[in-house]
Amino acid sequence: MKIYIDYDSTLINFIGPWLSWVNNKYKVTLQSNDINRWYFLGEVFGKEADYFWRSKQYNHYADKTFLQPYQGAKDFFQTMQKQFEEKNVIIISSTKEHHKIEKLEHAQYYFGVKQEQFIPINGSQEKYTFTKDGILIDDYSLDIMKHVSHNQQKGFVFNYDNKYGWCKKNNFVLDKYLSKFMHVVDDRNFHIATSYN
């Protein structure tokens, strides 16, 4: 059994710095609970709101102190490695080509992963095609729904400390991209986790 774990907003705090950037840029006071669907920021503020992670201008992974692991993330990752063997615990993360090397180095710095434990995927690839032989843990509900639907394997929507609005079941109906897979919410393999325990 393999364990596939998303990186941004699952192991490291990506949404916090992004929201600080958005709040400063647009003079608003949003919190992660306010983000009630995956594409909320881009839909509300336009494409520029996504520059934080899309643009070559910003490579936040290069600064190891900017994006920090969540409290408990490193212990969780190490526990998974002990339980399932190091080689079977894999970080799988949507990654812009111009961020790929720095993101791997960031994961190596904080979690000690080897290159073969890191799968960067681009926008044209689907996570579930890589996760057929294991469990997926991810903050994006659609990736979990597709994984459970296509692979008939367990998936955990990770809602850190229950603070992610887009991970809350009652908000799923607000995300048009989830509609095709809403039936998966009742599947025995579909779970929502709010901590690493």
CATH number of 2-193: 3.40.50
Mean pLDDT of the chain: 95
Any idea what the Cα angle at residue 133 is, between residues 132 and 135, rounded to 5°?
A: 90
Tell me the domain boundaries of the chain. 2-193
Pairwise CA distance, residues 159 & 195, whole Å:
7
Place 53 in a pLDDT band, splitting at 50, 70 and 90.
confident
Confidence of residue 149 (pLDDT cuts 50, 70, 90): very high
Q: How confident is the model at residue 156 (pLDDT cuts 50, 70, 90)?
A: very high
> pLDDT per residue over 117-145, tens digit each?
999 999 889 999 999 999 999 999 999 99
Q: Which residue has the tokens 């990752």?
A: 77
Q: Which residue has the tokens 């079977």?
A: 88
How deeply is 122 buried, as exposed, middle or buried, from its count of CB atoms within 10 A (0-12, 13-18, 19+)? Answer: exposed
Q: How far apart are CA 58 and CA 2, in angstroms?
A: 32
Quick: pLDDT tens for 176-185: 999 999 999 9
Which of the four pLDDT bands, split at 50, 70 and 90, describes residue 32?
A: very high
**Is 33 a residue whose pLDDT tops 90?**
yes
Look at residue 123 in the predicted model and tell me its pLDDT: 81
Residue range 45-52: mean pLDDT, rounded: 90
For the entire predicted model, the pTM comes to 0.96
Q: Find out whether 18 and 24 touch, Cβ atoms under 8 Å.
A: no
